[in-house]
Amino acid sequence: MLQWLRQYRREQLPGDVSAGLVVAMMMIPQGMAYALVAGLPPVVGIYASIAPPLIYALFGSSMTQSVGPMAIVSLMTGAVIAPLAAAGSGLYTVLAAQLALISGLVLLVCGALRLGFLANFFSRPVMSGFTVGAALVIALDQIDTLFGGAWRSPHWPSAILGLASLAALVLARQYLAALLRRCGLRPLLADILSKLAPMLVVIIATVLMADSRYGATGIHMIGAVPAGLPRLNLATSAAHWGALLQPGLLIGFIIFLISMSAAQTLALKRNEKLVSNHELIGLGAANLASALSGGFPVTGSMSRSAVNFAAGANTPLASVITAVLLALALVAPTGWLAWLPLPTLAATIIVAVLGMLDLSTLTTAWRYDRADALAWLATGAGVLALGVQAGVVVGVAMSMGTLIWRASRPNIAVLGRIAGSEHYRDIARYPAATDPAMLLLRIDANLFFGNVETVSERIEDELRGHATARDLVLVLSAVNAIDTTALFALSELNQNLKRRAIGLHLAEVKGPVLDRLKHSELLATLNGRLFLSTAIACDYLQPTVA
């Protein structure tokens, strides 16, 4: 904890200051926009950008993670709370904080129980499909705000402002960095400044709306923003604890997944070490802080953390500076924020999530492993069709489904001896000779509950096809583990073969597997022997042939 502060070196300061400044400028429009995605007053997005990064700096393990509001987590928050409270009501805001509290507690408990391995429950294709599906949902949700009404019958002033903002942001995203570079800026600086386009567009639009000619056109604005820092606030409504518990679990899980995936990408670039259990604690504490300061669920954001990283962040001090700047912005006169037009904010949301519409994982998976590509598509479709909460469940189901499906089709090879050698190989791939009295099977998979039935059936099939076999040798050179379910199956196979007077032998059992088998009764009751190698097994069982 705070190791970075004790080891702080003076030369780290310039990078941290510039990153803190840049991220603060990015955070103001983004925080307000993501609060809107969650159905909350925009100022709540600023609140959620102050205490959480401060607390994460104390407990988190990533040096460059920027913790705060994030599009997908905001979408999930809105989906959970919208059915429970009227939009804009005080209850809505209280429930959002309560959801952050529950998610934070879930994350802390998981951290205390050292359940960091939970980050491994989503495959990358599933995470990618989930992200793309959620990004589409978020973008589609903003269409009405962008047009000031249904897109078929728009409120024209709103639509013109919204589309103009959108065009400006898209153009800035595509060309601003290149333009600034051509103006002589260093490439890195040009890239970073181009990330401030949303702030610039928001300021221009706000200034325009402050002009009464435009202000009177009926374009919706965010309205009065309460001045001052967030107050410690945790009015709870006991009736809703039950309703928020399960969504809080799901959101806690997604907070962890999103943050880990961002932090890992960045840690890899600097060969930094990330401790997933510390990350759970850091995120849990950050969400508690968000709940206590009137915020809503927060997480590390890939896009914002990448800017933080690129702008030179060396330590969490960058995030501390961001938080301080945002707090100052709230203490400063905030009256001007009232004129910020909603269509422009909608445009910043749409452009922000467009960056998440990345299909490269899908195309790679399509070429490399069709099952992973189908899992991507099913998860994306699940989010679009069933909503983002059910999408998490679909995602876990698809990750586990591809895993078990693949595991249920293990490679099992019948081995034969390569003539004139001591080598035994798959007879389907090599011209190898088999012995009618002996069946050699090599199982190329760990034996566990997911494949134990298929393996048992394949063994029976092969025994049926080798009716003269008196001995079955299982070659376990590729088996790294045998779980309890598989242990029972092997014991049943052993009993069964004993009744049929067929010997069951094990060859090339790996050290760790053998160590574990010694804690079971299988070896003591084995209707056959253990052999160090396949060749030794064959020589022993078929001395005349060998």
Q: For 72-95, give the DSSP string.
A: HHHHHHHHHHTTTS-TT-HHHHHH
Q: Which is nearer to its own copies, 105 or 403 (CB)?
A: 403
Contact 20, 320 (CB under 8 A): yes
**How buried is 3 (Cβ within 10 angstroms: 0-12 exposed, 13-18 middle, 19+ buried)?**
exposed
Q: Which of residues 383-442 bind its own copies (CB under 8 A)?
A: 396, 399-400, 402-408, 410-411, 429
**Could you give the CA distance from residue 39 to residue 34 in angstroms, rounded to a whole number?**
9
Question: What is the smallest separation between the CB atom of 330 and its own copies, expressed in angstroms?
Answer: 38
515 binds its own copies (CB under 8 A): no
460 binds its own copies (CB under 8 A): yes
Element (H, E) at 413: strand 412-418
Q: Which is nearer to its own copies, 237 or 454 (CB)?
A: 454
Q: Which of residues 99-138 bind its own copies (CB under 8 A)?
A: 117-126
Contact residue for its own copies among 186, 516, 525, 545 (CB under 8 A): 516
User: By CB under 8 A, which span of 31-39, 228-236, 307-315, 368-376 interacts with its own copies?
Assistant: 368-376
445 binds its own copies (CB under 8 A): yes
**Could you give the CA distance from residue 145 to residue 165 in angstroms, rounded to a whole number?**
13
Question: What is the smallest separation between the CB atom of 365 and its own copies, expressed in angstroms?
Answer: 4
368 binds its own copies (CB under 8 A): yes
Contact residue for its own copies among 485, 494, 533, 542 (CB under 8 A): 485
Beta bridge partners of 506: 474, 530
Question: What is the smallest separation between the CB atom of 103 and its own copies, expressed in angstroms?
Answer: 18
Q: Which is nearer to its own copies, 268 or 359 (CB)?
A: 268
φ, ψ of residue 154 to 5 degrees: the values are -70, 160
Residue 29: CB partners within 8 Å, gap ≥ 6? Answer: 198, 199, 202, 345, 348
Closest alpha carbon to 466 in 502, 432, 499:
502
278 binds its own copies (CB under 8 A): no
151 binds its own copies (CB under 8 A): no
369 binds its own copies (CB under 8 A): yes
Residue 442: CB partners within 8 Å, gap ≥ 6? Answer: 412, 413, 415, 426, 474, 475, 477, 478
Residues that bind its own copies (CB under 8 A): 117-126, 264, 268-269, 271, 273-274, 276, 361, 364-365, 367-369, 372-373, 396, 399-400, 402-408, 410-411, 429, 444-446, 448-454, 456-457, 460-461, 478, 480-481, 483-485, 487-488, 492, 496, 510-512, 516, 519-520
